[in-house]
Structures are given as C-alpha cells and as structure tokens.
C-alpha cells in the first residue's frame, strides 16, 4: 500500500497543475493561462435569488454568451454579530461559486466589503456602528481591523475550498472597496492613506489573481482601476498605467428603482452600442452587465426607499425569465465579438473619421487579420459611408461590426431578436372574509416603555436594524381650552404615523431624494392627559456617502400649537419601543401554537397596524409565483415564515401607479398545500383583493416561452 501513496500523490499533483490557471494582465486584457481574453460578465447576486434558482440563472447567462459571473459579498448577512458567521441557504457563497464552476464559467468576486448595491447599510453589519471610535472607510484603526478581518475570512474560505483560479478554481478577479473616489475628498489625506492601505492589505492576502478598484482613477499598483457607468466608451479616462487593461465592472443595464419612481428602461440597442464602443474605442476587454439578473431584495435587505424588485429590466428579469430582445441581442453581440477576439487582442488599433458624426476603428494583426467597427453617432439619420472602397449604410446611432473588415455580422441598432412581454396569470384569490384572520397590533402605553429619555433619540441607534419601526410616545398634560390645535412633527426619515390615545390622526413620509419631511395635522386635545404616540418607520438604511456611521433618522422635533400657545415637546419625556408587538412575538413564523389570538376579519378594510393571515396551496406547474398586493397600503409579507420583502403600494409614481404591485414568492419557499401567508399592513389596505399569480412570458407572435 505504502508504495502507492507517492504515486497517487504525484498523479493528483499533476492533475491539479493541469487545471491551475495563472491569471495576470497586460495592457490589453486579463491573461489567463498565458492567453489574452475578451470577457463578458454578468452580475448575479446570490442572496437576491435562491439556491434552487442559481443553476438555471447561470445556465441562461452562459447560453447568453456570458463568460464570468460577478457578485458582491454581503457582509451583513455573513457576520450578523462579530465573529459569528452564517453561510447557509441563500447566503451559501461557496455553493454559488461551485455551481458557476460546474457550468464552466469564471467568477469575479467583489468582496468590498463596502458594496453599496442598494443594499441596507451598503452591506455593513449594523454592529459596526457601535464600535468605539469607528469612522467607516478611512484610515481609522477600528474600521480597518474589521474590514481586514472580514476580507481575510472570505479569502481564506475561498482558498480552503480551492476556488481561486491559481488553485484550479473559477475566481479570476477580485475587488476591494467600491467606488471610493465618490467620497474620498471628504477624508483628505486619510482617504489617500486608506486607498494605499486597502490595496496593500488585499495584495497581502496572496490570492494569485488580480484585484480591481472600480471608479478609482488612482488605484495603486498592481490593482487595476476599472470603469462603472452607462457609457464607459465615452467616459472612461483609461487605465492608469499602459500595463493595465480597460475593464468595465458596471455597465448599467437599467437602474435600480425607488418607491415613487418608474422603471428605467434601457434599450437593447443602447446597451449594445456602448458595449461595442468600449471595445472599439477604449480597447475594452472586460464588460460586466450590472445587473444580468437583479432578483429580489427579500426581507428588509433593500436600502432606503429602494423597492423590493431589483433590476427587473435586466436581461434576465426578476423571476429569471429571459427579457427579450435584450438577452438575445446581447447574445448576438457577444458572438460577433468572440468571432474576432484574437485579432482584437493581438491587433494594432487605428481610428479615422468617416464623416462629421461618423468614425471608424480598425484592429489589424499583420496583413491577414482585420476587424473594423463603423460608428454612426448621429441619432436621427442613417448615412452611407465609404470604407476600404466599399459602401456601408449605417443605421442611426449604431455601430457595425466587420470581423473581416468586409462583411457586417452585427449592427448594434439592428435587433433580430423578437420582443416578449410578461404574462400574469391569476390563479387564486382571497376574496372571502373567512379565508382570513387578523391580529391588531398594539400602540404601546407610555408606562410600559422600557426606555425613557428627555430628548428625541436617533432611530437607527435604537432599532439596530432589527426592525423598521420605532415608537415615540409621551403624555401631554393639558388644561386650558384650545381651539384649532395642530401637531407639528419633523422627521429626518422616512415615515411617521401619529396617534392620540388610540386614534390615528395622520401620517407623512419623505422620498429617496428628500428624506426629511414635516407632518402637520389637526389634533383634538382632551382636558387632562393626552397620550401621544408617533410611529417612526424606516424603509431600509442608507447605503452610500461619507460618514455613514453618523447618519440621523427618526423624529427631530415635535410641537403642539394650541390657540396662541406653542408647546415644544422635543425635550419632553419620551418613552420608546423598538419594533411592533407582532414582530417581537414573531407571529409571522410558522407555529402550531400562535402566541396571539387571531380573530375573524370583519367587513372593515383600511385598518392600520393590522396583521392578516391566510393559507394557500401552491399553484400547479413550474412557472414562477407572485403575489399581487396592489390592494394593500404599506408593510411587509411573509410566506411560511420567510419574508418576501417590503411593499409600499400607496407611494405612487408619476403615472399614479404603485412602483411595484407584484411580489416574487420563490417556488422553494412553498409547500404543495397549506402555505401560511402573513401580511403586516401599516397604512390600511384591502386583503380581500390579494391574489396569487403565475408569471410567464410570451413572444409578441404568441408563442409561449420560458
Ligand atoms: C476576526 O475576528 C474574530 C473575532 O471577532 C477572531 O476570532 C478572528 O481570529 C479574526 N480573524 C482574523 C483573520 O483576524
Ligand atoms: C488601444 O491600443 C492601441 C495599441 O493597439 C494604442 O495605440 C491605443 O492608444 C489604445 N487606446 C486606448 C484608448 O487605450
Ligand atoms: C482618433 O481618436 C482620438 C481619440 O478619441 C481622437 O482624438 C482623434 O481625433 C481620432 N483620430 C481621427 C483621425 O479621427
Ligand atoms: C456622440 O455625440 C454625443 C453628443 O451628441 C457626444 O456626447 C458623444 O461623446 C458622442 N459619442 C461618440 C461615440 O462620438
Ligand atoms: C446610541 O445609543 C447609546 C445608548 O444606547 C448612546 O450611548 C450613544 O451615544 C448613541 N449614539 C448615537 C450616535 O446616537
Ligand atoms: C392615557 O393613557 C393612560 C395610561 O395608559 C390611560 O389611563 C388614560 O385613560 C389614557 N388617556 C386617554 C384620554 O385615553
Ligand atoms: C433640547 O435639548 C437639546 C440638548 O439636549 C438642546 O440642544 C435643544 O436646544 C433643546 N431643544 C429645545 C427645543 O429646547
Ligand atoms: C460614469 C457614467 O457613465 N455615469 C453615467 C451613468 O448613467 C447615468 C444615466 O444615464 C448618467 O447620468 C451618468 O453620467
Ligand atoms: C462569409 C461572407 O459573407 N463572406 C463575404 C464577405 O465579403 C466578400 C466580399 O464582399 C464576399 O466575397 C464574401 O463572400
């Protein structure tokens, strides 16, 4: 036996050597195993879908001509408390990467660990806020300690699973920090020192693959500065060294959507134009679509005012279905570029004018190989240009690709893929009152509150992101007669609902762009004690900007105007309660013994602070499932104890429509029968008109596709 061991080991060593890929770069591209590569990459974030969806999403990306899957790493999910880690279920980063590897694609791992990404607190775990002396993202010892600790944890995990290309794994590229240049000025010298430190720290982890810093023009060697944006073919100032390639880490396929906003539709033609321009004009050799699949911000994971559906307009929609013609048009573009990538990567680039608004780019490799791009930047007129004594008609705002400098194989404005549209099939309704039970949440009494302070405390510092909700409650003694009294509340974010005794008197909210707001409502005061309670609500934590640790949310001043008198209650004695009773009791969990008495619902709709519960069977088939919550107001929904996200129907967009009415319920959250649906309604809604739907797409000539 013993004799065999060295032989087996040798064989094993030989096999691993065969598979190990060295990743370096030069002025043209990443160099994998000695070969330059043009790579198309697509962002898919593992916690925004489910492990059951991953294989299909990756397969569709691969079929669409994507070579690399790019993902952020979500620190707040993985380290909910310092030193306590969670990599289970949707958070299973290693399984996600192994699935990508199994399908033969590469990975770009953007560790951050600051990620922004419209993710609550930009991906930071909230406990960082309470670390003594911390200032995020600058030359600050406590911050650097935790950043290095988490980055090291992830890198070591990848290494121990053999996931770096240098070990035979799929990871070819990694990212430290994220668009730091946006805030660097706020930190002066300390900011520059931090960039140096972050680069050195990352390189010191010896992953064997290059690191990038995106939107960081001065990324220190050997890190590569990369471009984020919609038009990197026009905006990118280029690599900061001739030895570094032009890489585009975020080419936005759409834009994230906020409550009150409308979807940002970016056409397939426009994306194709700018991707091609980046390759032709900037020698671009890596383009990542942000997002290729956006998915869902489950639970309370979205950042301030960002809706639950994420980049639904991406080539794969929220449900993972092809969005056509985007997916198909980009697939054709990828094939056209790949057909001539050797020439693009080895050839010499020249450019020339073809007219006032027309230009050409040619890549020539010796006398044999030649690739041309003919650009028409006129967005109105098509034009005919002469190139190498042949005529070419160029469509408005388009680029023609000529892999042999003769024949056009692709024009960015000429879409051959058929368009499709989404079909929503209602399969179940909840229209009868006996399908529902309800539980009325309770407005806390001042004397029951556990925390008292004689000032208005900051919202996030109390909730620690364990809940969206914070009650501010006080007793107001009042003995003089008073006509036309009003309550004035100022809040720094995001929503406030005011109650006197148990009666609702009014509410107000801010928006993504203007977070502060004023609530001004008439109030009828009793002689004697008045119990005033204000529910402050956040819709996700902020995710960007300098000094995130110092942000202020919640109430900033409260005043009662009574006849000529004005009572400033800002520094009165306030009692606080974090979260709702139903949240504390976790009544959305699947339980045999409910901790509360659920009651039959009456005919009353539009009740505030009400929990609703029902049961439903899984729709037949495999089509994705969605709840239509269009009849509700604002709140959060759970299916079998798992939160499918916040909803906010009452916040209409400029067309008078809710920004999102349909909410994805992943198939893997469902059982065949007896699924428990729990809805917490904050603003008043009608549960009888909620419906269960399946989602599919149809091509505009009516053939159903998946
Ligand atoms: C990270 O911090 C934890 C404690 O929170 C410690 O156990 C661990 O050793 C640290 N890891 C590194 C790589 O510093
Ligand atoms: C592209 O590469 C060519 C060499 O083939 C070089 O002359 C040119 O300056 C590069 N263009 C850009 C924008 O980097
Ligand atoms: C070639 O491209 C460069 C950079 O975009 C531009 O400044 C120059 O005018 C172009 N040359 C011609 C002949 O169009
Ligand atoms: C096209 O024209 C616009 C102005 O209309 C300009 O901003 C842009 O840089 C031009 N792009 C190219 C590729 O020439
Ligand atoms: C957060 O609350 C703690 C008490 O719980 C207090 O000591 C601290 O000053 C507060 N921090 C901020 C930034 O409000
Ligand atoms: C205010 O709350 C106190 C204690 O909870 C209660 O005794 C009193 O009746 C309430 N006042 C009114 C007007 O409801
Ligand atoms: C409330 O107290 C704070 C300090 O605790 C003070 O700065 C502020 O001026 C006071 N506001 C009012 C309206 O009295
Ligand atoms: C860097 C960059 O190109 N940013 C652009 C991204 O797209 C938006 C919307 O079109 C532009 O406003 C930015 O300038
Ligand atoms: C594959 C292909 O279409 N080749 C054509 C390219 O253009 C030349 C000259 O215009 C034709 O002769 C080829 O047949």
Same domain? For 385 and 248 the reply is: no
566 ligand 8 Cβ < 6 A: no
- Are 409 and 339 contacting, i.e. CB atoms less than 8 angstroms apart? yes
Atom 2, ligand 7: which residue's CA is nearest? Answer: 571
Distance in angstroms (rounded) separating the CA atoms of residues 593 and 596: 9
Comparison of pLDDT for 262 and 7, the residue scoring more = 262
Same domain? For 119 and 221 the reply is: yes
Q: Which ligand has the minimum distance to the alpha carbon of residue 131?
A: 5
Same domain? For 664 and 574 the reply is: no
Same domain? For 385 and 314 the reply is: no
What CATH number corresponds to the domain at position 639? 2.60.120.260
Among 158, 164, 196, smallest CA distance to 177 is for 196
Comparison of pLDDT for 11 and 638, the residue scoring more = 638
Q: Which residues contact 368 (CB under 8 A, 6 or more apart)?
A: none
Banded pLDDT at 480 (limits 50, 70, 90): confident
Atom 5, ligand 7: which residue's CA is nearest? Answer: 455
Q: Please confirm, yes or no, whether 79 is among the known catalytic residues.
A: no
Model pLDDT, residue 497: 98
- pLDDT exceeding 70 applies to what percent of the chain? 96
Banded pLDDT at 660 (limits 50, 70, 90): very high
585 within domain boundaries: no
413 within domain boundaries: no
pLDDT for residue 349 is more than 90: yes
Mean pLDDT of the chain: 94
318 within domain boundaries: yes
156 ligand 9 Cβ < 6 A: no
What CATH number corresponds to the domain at position 241? 3.20.20.80
234 ligand 4 Cβ < 6 A: yes
Same domain? For 323 and 361 the reply is: no
Model pLDDT, residue 613: 96
Model pLDDT, residue 304: 97
Q: How remote is the CA of residue 6 from the centroid of ligand 6, in Å?
A: 83
Same domain? For 491 and 606 the reply is: no
Distance in angstroms (rounded) separating the CA atoms of residues 561 and 543: 36
pLDDT for residue 604 is more than 70: no
pLDDT for residue 110 is more than 60: yes
Stretch 104-108: mean pLDDT: 98
Banded pLDDT at 706 (limits 50, 70, 90): very low
Among 478, 463, 472, smallest CA distance to 444 is for 472
Same domain? For 104 and 26 the reply is: yes
Banded pLDDT at 14 (limits 50, 70, 90): low
Pocket test for ligand 3, best of 236, 351, 373 (most atoms within 8 A of CB): 351
Stretch 271-296: mean pLDDT: 97
pLDDT in tens, 133-176: 999 999 999 999 999 999 999 999 999 999 999 999 999 999 99
Q: Which ligand has the minimum distance to the alpha carbon of residue 277?
A: 4
679 φψ region: left (φ > 0), alpha (ψ -120 to 50), beta (else):
beta
In the listed set 579, 606, 623, which residue is the last one of a domain according to the structure?
579
586 within domain boundaries: no
* DSSP 8-class letter at 658: B
693 within domain boundaries: yes
Among 439, 440, 447, smallest CA distance to 577 is for 447
Q: How remote is the CA of residue 149 from the centroid of ligand 1, in Å?
A: 6
Comparison of pLDDT for 463 and 8, the residue scoring more = 463
Tokens coding 509: 């909210």
Same domain? For 55 and 179 the reply is: yes
Model pLDDT, residue 12: 55
pLDDT for residue 470 is more than 90: yes
Banded pLDDT at 47 (limits 50, 70, 90): very high
What global pTM score does this model have? 0.94
Catalytic residue among 179, 318, 549, 583: 179
Q: How remote is the CA of residue 406 from the centroid of ligand 9, in Å?
A: 7
Distance in angstroms (rounded) separating the CA atoms of residues 268 and 168: 35
Comparison of pLDDT for 393 and 12, the residue scoring more = 393
Q: What range defines the domain where residue 363 resides?
A: 350-408
Provide residues with CB under 6 Å of ligand 7: 455, 568, 570-571
* DSSP 8-class letter at 162: T
pLDDT for residue 8 is more than 70: no
Same domain? For 275 and 356 the reply is: no
pLDDT for residue 39 is more than 90: yes
List, edge to edge, every strand of the sheet that includes 495-500. Answer: 451-453, 574-578, 469-478, 528-537, 495-500, 503-509
Same domain? For 329 and 384 the reply is: no
Stretch 336-351: mean pLDDT: 97
* Domains contained in the chain, number: 4
440 within domain boundaries: no
Same domain? For 458 and 370 the reply is: no
pLDDT for residue 409 is more than 60: yes
Stretch 511-517: mean pLDDT: 95
- Are 141 and 167 contacting, i.e. CB atoms less than 8 angstroms apart? no
Banded pLDDT at 5 (limits 50, 70, 90): low
616 within domain boundaries: yes
435 within domain boundaries: no
Q: Please confirm, yes or no, whether 364 is among the known catalytic residues.
A: no
Residue 246 burial (C-beta neighbours within 10 Å; 0-12, 13-18, 19+): buried
Model pLDDT, residue 483: 78
Model pLDDT, residue 1: 44
Same domain? For 89 and 198 the reply is: yes
Provide residues with CB under 6 Å of ligand 6: 445, 501, 526, 529, 531
Catalytic residue among 99, 118, 177, 250: 250
pLDDT in tens, 305-314: 999 999 999 9
């Amino acid at each position: 036996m013993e004799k065999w061991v060295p032989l087996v080991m040798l064989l094993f060593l030989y096999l691993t050597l065969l598979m190990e890929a060295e990743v370096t770069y030069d002025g043209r591209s990443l160099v994998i195993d000695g070969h330059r590569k043009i790579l198309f990459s697509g962002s898919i974030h593992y916690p925004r879908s489910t492990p059951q969806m991953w294989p299909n999403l990756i397969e569709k990306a691969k079929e669409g001509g994507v070579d690399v899957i790019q993902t952020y790493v979500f620190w707040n999910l993985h380290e909910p408390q310092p030193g306590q880690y969670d990599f289970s279920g949707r958070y299973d980063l290693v399984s996600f990467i192994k699935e990508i590897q199994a399908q033969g694609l590469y990975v770009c791992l953007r560790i951050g660990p600051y990620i922004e990404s419209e993710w609550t607190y930009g991906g930071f775990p909230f406990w960082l806020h309470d670390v003594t002396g911390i200032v995020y993202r600058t030359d600050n010892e406590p911050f650097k300690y935790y950043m290095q600790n988490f980055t090291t944890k992830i890198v070591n995990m990848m290494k121990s699973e053999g996931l770096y290309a240098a070990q035979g794994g799929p990871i070819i590229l990694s990212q430290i920090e994220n668009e730091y240049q946006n805030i660097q000025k706020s930190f002066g010298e300390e900011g520059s020192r931090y960039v140096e430190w972050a680069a050195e720290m990352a390189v010191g982890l010896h992953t064997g693959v290059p690191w990038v810093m995106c939107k960081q023009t001065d990324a220190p060697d050997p890190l590569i500065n990369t471009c984020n944006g919609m038009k990197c073919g026009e905006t990118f100032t280029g690599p900061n060294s001739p030895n570094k390639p032009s890489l585009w880490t975020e080419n936005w396929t759409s834009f994230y959507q906020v409550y009150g906003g409308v979807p940002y539709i970016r056409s397939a033609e426009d994306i194709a134009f700018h991707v091609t321009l980046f390759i032709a004009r900037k020698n671009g050799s890596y383009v990542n679509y942000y997002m290729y699949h956006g998915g869902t911000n489950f639970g309370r994971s979205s950042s301030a005012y960002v809706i639950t559906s994420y980049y639904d307009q991406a080539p794969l929609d929220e449900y993972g279905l092809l969005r056509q013609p985007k997916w198909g048009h980009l697939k054709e573009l990828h094939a056209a570029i790949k057909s001539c990538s050797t020439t693009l990567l080895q050839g010499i680039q020249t450019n020339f004018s073809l007219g006032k608004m027309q230009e050409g780019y040619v890549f020539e490799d010796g006398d044999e190989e030649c690739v041309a791009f003919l650009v028409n930047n006129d967005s109105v007129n098509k034009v005919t240009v002469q190139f190498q004594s042949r005529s070419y008609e160029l469509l408005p705002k388009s680029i023609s690709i000529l892999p042999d400098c003769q024949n056009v194989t692709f024009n960015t404005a000429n879409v051959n893929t058929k368009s499709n549209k989404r079909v929503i099939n209602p399969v179940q309704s909840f229209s009868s009152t006996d399908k529902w039970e309800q539980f009325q949440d309770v407005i806390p009494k001042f004397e029951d509150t556990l925390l008292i302070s004689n000032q208005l405390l900051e919202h996030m510092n109390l909730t620690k992101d364990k809940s969206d909700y914070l009650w501010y409650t006080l007793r107001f003694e009042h003995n003089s007669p008073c006509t036309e009294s009003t309550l004035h509340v100022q809040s720094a974010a995001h929503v406030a609902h005011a109650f006197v005794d148990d009666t609702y008197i009014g509410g107000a909210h801010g928006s993504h762009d203007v977070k502060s707001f004023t609530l001004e409502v008439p109030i009828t005061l009793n002689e004697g004690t008045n119990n005033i309670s204000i529910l402050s609500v956040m819709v996700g934590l902020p995710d960007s900007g300098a000094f995130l640790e110092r942000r202020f949310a919640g109430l900033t001043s409260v005043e009662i105007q009574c006849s000529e008198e004005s009572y400033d209650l800002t520094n009165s004695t306030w009692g606080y309660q974090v979260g709702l009773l139903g949240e504390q009791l976790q009544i959305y969990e699947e339980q045999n013994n409910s901790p509360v008495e659920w009651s039959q619902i009456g005919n009353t709709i539009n009740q505030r602070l009400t929990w609703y519960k029902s049961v439903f069977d899984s729709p037949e088939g495999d089509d994705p499932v969605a709840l239509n919550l269009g009849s509700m107001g604002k709140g959060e929904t759970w299916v079998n104890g798992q939160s499918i996200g916040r909803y906010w129907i009452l916040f209409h967009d400029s067309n008078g429509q809710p920004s999102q009415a349909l909410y994805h319920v992943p198939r893997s959250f469902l059982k065949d029968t007896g699924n428990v649906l729990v809805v917490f309604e904050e603003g008043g809604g009608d549960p009888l008109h909620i419906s269960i739907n399946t989602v599919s797409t149809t091509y505009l000539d009516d053939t159903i596709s998946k």
